[in-house]
């Protein structure tokens, strides 16, 4: 069952342009209202947003669609994506909607929906909402935005929950926090300061257009410099909606989701809390992580890229820990989605309890060189049907002899083939990635 509007992370696009034009956003609200009212009479839906300048009108327009069908709306204002998921799960809400495009530039935005369980909607339900959106658009529905007033108490409830999960104080910890001018800009500094950390904050002055702009989880150089020059113990950077976190150790080492999964898995196993002695990650997880976990007697299961797929597999297997190299880490004992601030608390708590630095928590982790090459293609074909490409992939895999990995996949949103090669020797990795990319370019390129 194909979907046209919903991707792995909701509906996303340029704010003001289809499918995030006013008519479609309003139709989304109407369609979602029909969906929730079928299961919950007198329903109430939560809406939150990050700091993009388009967040307010998109929130008001979606709310207008919901209210036009008798669904009450509570507006949290600026809050993180995991904050919306947690509030939806724990509150009186039939659904939650987050207005965000995560790590994308400010011009983009998105609509992400959580069911009352705190999980993203299943594919069949998203497909049903899509079909209703298309039907409503054909009717020429006129968008009527709602009047919204932010209820700041909602974000406060989420903050209190995060505080309640941390058994260790952070007194004396010298911490640098890069909020990416995004949704965490108020919550994160307060969270860590209330636990006793000495907090220096970067990029916590959003103006509607500077979200993720040369800062946050995708641009850690400012954080690295601040940590090293300020002799801090640790640094953490969040993306625009704070569902991911990237760390910098006191020595300036970048620690992504792979490192967090290793440190957390070790701690959970030592405490007897790592169900099944397994961790779920994606095909992009570094081979070094898999080998380090193997030495600890921990099995790693891989899924396609996307935290949605990680979570689905965690639920299927009963796993309590999973995540992505990009910094989405899911602690199922606490949350139903990746949560950057929750992840930071778990990392700091683990370090405090062990009396160790972040570098020490990662002992034995050898990161294999990994190269990703994007190739523009005119057509997306099953690679086994393109002999020259399939032969080149087999040649590289044979040359590695089990010591490396090759992954070739197509982008779900762009005309791109993504070639990832990983192995112990950088020169060979770079050469192999280019040779496979060139084979794709010859056979399928634009």
Taking only the tens place, the pLDDT of each residue in 275-292 is 999 999 999 999 999 999
pLDDT of residue 413: 64
Q: Are strands 329-331 and 321-323 parallel, antiparallel or unpaired?
A: antiparallel
Query: The tokens of 440 are what?
Result: 């794709």
Which residues carry out catalysis? 102
| pLDDT higher than 80, residue 41 | no
Domain boundaries, the chain: 6-153, 155-254, 256-339+347-361, 370-444
Distance CA 245, CA 234 (A): 13
Provide the pLDDT confidence category of residue 2 given band limits of 50, 70 and 90.
low
| pLDDT higher than 70, residue 73 | yes
The architecture that CATH gives domain 370-444 is 2-Layer Sandwich (3.30)
Mean pLDDT of 14-28: 97
Mean pLDDT of 144-163: 97
pLDDT of residue 189: 98
The class that CATH gives domain 6-153 is alpha beta
| pLDDT higher than 60, residue 1 | no
Mean pLDDT of the chain: 95
pLDDT of residue 131: 96
Same CATH fold assignment for domains 6-153 and 256-339+347-361? yes
| pLDDT higher than 80, residue 412 | no
pLDDT digits (tens, 9 = 90+) for 235-278: 999 999 999 999 999 999 999 999 999 999 999 999 999 999 99
Provide the whole-model pTM. Answer: 0.92
Mean pLDDT of 408-419: 85
Mean pLDDT of 159-175: 96
| pLDDT higher than 90, residue 305 | no
Mean pLDDT of 150-176: 97
Provide the pLDDT confidence category of residue 306 given band limits of 50, 70 and 90.
confident
pLDDT digits (tens, 9 = 90+) for 190-211: 999 999 999 999 999 999 999 9
| pLDDT higher than 90, residue 171 | yes
| pLDDT higher than 70, residue 330 | yes
The verdict on domain 155-254 having CATH code 3.40.120.10 is: yes
Provide the pLDDT confidence category of residue 35 given band limits of 50, 70 and 90.
confident
The domain 256-339+347-361 is placed in CATH, from the list 3.40.630.30, 3.40.50.150, 3.40.120.10, 3.40.50.620, at: 3.40.120.10
pLDDT digits (tens, 9 = 90+) for 335-387: 999 999 999 999 999 999 999 999 999 999 999 999 999 999 998 989 989 99
């Amino acid at each position: 069952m194909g979907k046209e509007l919903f991707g792995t992370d909701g509906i996303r696009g340029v704010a003001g342009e289809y499918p995030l034009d006013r008519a479609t956003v309003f139709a989304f609200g109407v369609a979602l209202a029909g969906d929730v009212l079928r299961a919950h009479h007198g329903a109430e839906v939560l809406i939150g947003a990050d700091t993009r300048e388009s967040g307010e009108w998109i929130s008001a327009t979606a709310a207008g669609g919901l209210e036009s069908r008798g669904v009450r709306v509570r507006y949290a204002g600026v809050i993180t994506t995991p904050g919306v998921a947690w509030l939806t799960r724990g509150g009186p809400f039939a659904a939650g909607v987050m207005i965000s495009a995560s790590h994308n530039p400010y011009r983009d935005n998105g609509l992400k929906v959580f069911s009352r369980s705190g999980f993203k909607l299943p594919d069949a339900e998203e497909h049903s909402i899509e079909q209703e959106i298309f039907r409503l658009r054909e009717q020429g529905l006129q968008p009527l935005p709602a009047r919204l007033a932010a209820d700041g108490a909602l974000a406060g409830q989420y903050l209190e929950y995060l505080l309640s999960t941390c058994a260790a104080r952070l007194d004396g910890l010298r911490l640098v926090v890069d909020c990416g001018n995004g949704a965490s800009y108020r919550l994160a500094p307060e969270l860590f300061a209330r636990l006793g950390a000495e907090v220096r904050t970067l990029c916590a002055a959003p103006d509607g257009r500077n979200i993720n702009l040369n800062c946050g989880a995708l641009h850690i150089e400012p954080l690295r410099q601040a940590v090293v020059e300020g002799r801090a113990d640790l640094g953490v950077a969040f993306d625009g909606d704070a569902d991911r976190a990237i760390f910098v150790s006191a020595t300036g080492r970048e620690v992504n989701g792979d490192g967090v999964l290793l440190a957390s898995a070790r701690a959970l196993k030592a405490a007897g809390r790592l169900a099944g002695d397994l961790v779920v990650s994606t095909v992009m997880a570094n081979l070094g992580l898999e080998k380090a976990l193997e030495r600890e007697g921990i099995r790693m299961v891989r899924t396609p890229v996307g935290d949605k797929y990680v979570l689905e597999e965690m639920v299927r297997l009963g796993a309590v820990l999973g995540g992505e190299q990009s910094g989405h880490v899911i602690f199922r004992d606490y949350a139903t989605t990746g949560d950057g601030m929750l992840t930071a608390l778990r990392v700091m708590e683990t370090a405090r309890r062990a009396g160790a630095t972040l570098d020490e928590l990662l002992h034995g982790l050898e990161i294999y060189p990994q190269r990703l090459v994007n190739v523009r293609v005119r057509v997306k074909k099953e690679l086994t049907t393109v002999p020259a490409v399939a032969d080149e992939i087999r040649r590289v895999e044979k040359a590695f002899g089990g010591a490396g990995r090759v992954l070739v996949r197509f982008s779900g949103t762009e005309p791109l083939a993504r070639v990832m090669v990983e192995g112990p020797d950088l020169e060979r990795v770079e050469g192999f990635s280019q040779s496979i990319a060139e084979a794709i370019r010859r056979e399928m390129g634009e």
